[in-house]
Each structure stands twice: as C-alpha cells, then as structure tokens.
Structure 1
Amino acid sequence: MKFNSLLLAATALAASAVQAQSTCNEWSPCFREGYCDSDAMFCLWGLCDEAKSFNSTSCWKPEGCASQLVTFDSSADVIPIRTYSGNPNVNPYLSIFEPDNASIVDGALKLQMNYQAAQNKGFGATADASHTIQYGRVTARVKTASVAPGVVSSFIIRNDQTGDEIDFEWVGKDPSQVQTNYYFNDILDYTKMVAYNVGADTSKDYHDYTIDWSENSIQWLVDGKVIRVVNKADTLDAATGKYLFPTSEARVAFSIWDGGNSGAQGTAEWAGYPTPWGNGVSYQMFVDSVDVKCSGDQGTQTSTDAGEPSNPTSGPEPPVSNLPGGQKCRPRPY
C-alpha cells in the first residue's frame, strides 16, 4: 500500500503558509501544494514544485547521497523540518509533520501516533532523510508498531514528485509479517506486493531490513537474508515500451500512520480496522540505526550548499507582492 505523506500534512500546510495559485514572490519563493513559503518544508528538493516557484533557483538542490551510519545518539539526528538550515551532515533526518511526533529516545528514533478526536483517527509521524539517494543499499534496524490492527509502519525510498517508490511496510493485524512493494511513476499497482513471514513479532524486537537498489534490480533482505528480487528487465510494459521500474533520485523515509481509520475501505481492509483508540492510547515505531551505502556511481561526499532559507524576521519588513487573482503574498511570521 503506497503511503502519501503529503495528504497527511495538508492541514498543517494550510494553517501556516501563504496561499498561492501558480506563482510565488522573492520573499516566499518556494511553492508546495498551493502555498508559498521560504523554509525547508517548502524549499526542500522533492517537496518544492520548481515549475510554480518564484524562479528556477528557488527550490533547494538535491543534497546527493552520502554513505553513512546514523545511530540516533544525538538530538540533532532528527529535527523539525521548519528548523532545518540546509546542512544534511548536521541533521541527517527531518520530522515532516506538525505537530511533531518524532523524537530521539534511548538511542533510537521514535515515531509516535496519537489520536485526533476531530478527525476520528490517528495522526502519525514521518522522518525523511535530508540526503538523497539514487541507487545504493540501505539497512534499517526497525522495531515496528504492529501491536494493533490498523497501525501501519513504513520504511520507504520515495520521490514524491515522480511517484517512484520502494518499500517495506508492516500492518498491525499481522505482527509477524512484512510486506514489500515498488511503484513507478505513481502507478498504483498493488498486485505487486509480496509478503514475508519474519518468524517473530516485529513489534517485540529489532530486525534488520535492507533495500538494495541498483539500475538493474531491487533486492529486499530481512536479517541479511534475501527475501525478494525484482529485475528491471522483467518490468517491461509491452503496451508502452517502458520499464515500470523506479529510477528517480529519492529520499529514505520512515513513518507511522493510521490505515484502519483512513476512511478508504480498501486501505482499512488491508491494514485491519478499526484502529483501537482509547484514553491515553498511542502507538510507537522505533528505528535503532540506518546504514546507507551509496552506489559506486555516486560520490560519498555530500553537498552542503542546499541553501539557507531566508529569515523574514530580520531587517525591514519585505513588501507585499500581488499574486494572480488579487491575492497577497507575505512570508509566514515565525
């Protein structure tokens, strides 16, 4: 089941950003989902819509791959995306949502889901890598939140603009099972999902999950054992002559979300439903470490010149600019 983090973040964006139609101004140059602003939530590569931003240099450049082991021993290893200044070597993971339900606890990344009464469902968390990757091997040591039906834990490599994705997902109704899938160009073909029995409750202990992605194949491994292989040559679509195989530069991400109370019947049946909620109930997914080894055709040095978002609180207040339809665009006050 493909997870689209943008849908879950829509309310947070609407509450805090400047509305726009098709263009932004120099003070709020980056366009995302109908709004303009100047921080990483809008300007980060993969989230920012270059075609609708102020100009071709408004969106930050992709950070590139870096071979690194992140063990979540420092509070700087995951920070709210709005506070990110553009240096992926200092802050390897970014918490995407508001409210921020990601934190470092006892040397692990904790992603928590809490109940939202107004929506009658859980509000989870997503942590995106600040570095990008285009082919390589990623091993994550994960303890899932598969303690109740409807709770979904995810480890994915995804490009939100192209819809290319490779994933591991765990659904709460099957705590000993992990599911693997991949997507090309946002084509929602769920028939390619393959499940694997880990042989243990994935919420009780950590296990190593690996995605080994090359130009010609994808391998999924659990605790060092290859459980699935997809070769690019086998994904050729005869009707279009295209290989339905993910190739886009992307980001590693981890997430927890409410599939059981999602409102989509197919998703609820897949995840298990309803998701149990009660007074004080919350669900947690943990990531102990993430080991990235970039493909040999990528350098291991990471670009740190993604750019510093402008600080609209310093200096004189910038002028208000007009947008199509008579709207006004001003940076969001901090």
Structure 2
Amino acid sequence: MFTYSGQPLTSVHDEIDFEFLGKATSSVQLNYYVGGRGGRESVPALGYDATTGFHNYVFDWSARGIKWYIDGRLVRESNGPDLPVTPGQFFLSLWNGTKNVDGWLGAFDPSKTPVAMDIDWIGFTREGERCLFPQSITCTAQK
C-alpha cells in the first residue's frame, strides 16, 4: 500500500510505502520518495507471516515527519527537511513485478494463481481532524 504523486497525476513524484515482498512475508519494506528519489528503505521483521491474518498498518504523515506503525507499535520514524510534500493518491495493489525485479520481490510463480488480497478495512484521518474511528492512531494518541 502506498501514496503516490507523479506522472500522470503530478509533475513531482513523492511516495510513502508499506511493501510486502513475496520472497519475505515475515517482514515489510518501508520507504519514501521525494522528488522521484527513493533509496530510504528499511525492512523491519514483523514477528509473524503477513499472509496469515489481519493486522493494522498505519503511517502518520505530517510536515514534521513520517511514522510507520504496525498493530499500534511505532516501527520507524523519519524526520527532517527531506520529506514528501506533494499530496498523492492512496493505492493498494498486488504486483507480480517483472523479471528485472525478481531479486527484490522474489520470482512470480504463475502456477500459484489466482492471487488475492483480503482487506478488512481502510481509514483516513487528515492531520488536525478529530478521531474518526476507534482503530485510528489519532484516537490512540489522544488517550
């Protein structure tokens, strides 16, 4: 799941990512792009296989920084002047990649199709808005 601004939406490519790679389903790649430049990856261990159940994955993006949470636990924080600033769209996707990214994602096995992704719920709270749903990091931070 990720935010994305860039062609064809805007001229500036900013992005914030939670990426689950098929070759390593017990970790997640966290990354962000500023002006089309990424290279800010971290890959924390989850302590479970992400394909076996529902979990809450949250990022909190503000002018002060980006915080990534998993099941309410802060797993990464990035602060400073070099952060995404361009509003983007929010995407959830399944991508089998291409041969040139097999080393990153893991090779796609077409014998394991069809592929599906189950999503229990999605929420969005603008910075400064009141808590809109109980699972929101905004709610838990206000307690």
Q: What TM-score do the two structures reach when normalised by structure 2?
A: 0.82
- Which range moved further: 283-292 or 219-228? 283-292
More strand as a share of residues: 1
Greater relative contact order: 1 or 2 (C-alpha under 8 angstroms, separation 6 or more)?
Answer: 1
Distance 1:208 1:281 in 2: 26
1:240-279 matches, cutoff 5 A = 244-259=82-97, 262-264=98-100, 267-273=101-107, 275-278=108-111
Name 1:286's counterpart in structure 2: 118
**Cα displacement (A) at 1:281:** 2.1
Instruction: Measure how far apart 1:196 and its partner are.
Output: 1.2
**Alignment match, 1:138:** none
- What are structure 2's unaligned runs of at least 5 residues? 133-143
1:200 to 30, 48, 52: 48
Is 1:159 matched up with 2:9?
A: no
Please state whether the residue corresponding to 2:119 is helix, strand or coil: strand
Query: Could you report, residue by residue, the CA deviation over 1:205-252 in whole angstroms, capped at 9, with x for unpaired residues?
Result: 01100010001100000000000000024xxxxxxxxxx310011111
Amino acid in structure 2 at the alignment position of 1:277: P
Give the CA RMSD over aligned residues. 1.7
**1 CA distance for matches of 2:117 and 2:77?**
26
Question: Which string of whole-angstrom CA distances, capped at 9 and with x for unpartnered residues, describes residues 146-193 of structure 1?
Answer: xxxxxxxxx101112211000100011111111100001112x33x10
Q: Percent identity?
A: 29
Q: Give 4+ residue runs of structure 1 displaced > 4 Å after superposition.
A: none
1:74 corresponds in structure 2 to none
Structure 1 counterpart of 2:64 = 216
Aligned equivalents of 2:61, 2:79: Cα separation in 1: 10
Q: Distance in 1 between matches of 2:28 and 2:126?
A: 24
**2:32 alignment partner in structure 1:** 182
Query: Is residue 18 of structure 2 the alignment partner of residue 168 of structure 1?
Result: yes
Unaligned runs of 5+ in 1: 1-154, 234-243, 301-334
CA distance in 2, matches of 1:220, 1:252: 15
Deviations 1:62-95 (A, max 9, x none): xxxxxxxxxxxxxxxxxxxxxxxxxxxxxxxxxx
TM-score, normalised to structure 1, is 0.36
Distance (whole Å) between structure 1 residues aligned to residue 117 and residue 44 of structure 2: 19
Task: Look at both structures and tell me which one has the larger radius of gyration over its CA atoms.
Answer: 1
Give the deviation of 1:263 after TM superposition. 3.1
SS in 2 for 1:285: coil
The DSSP-based 3-state class of the residue aligned with 2:102 is helix
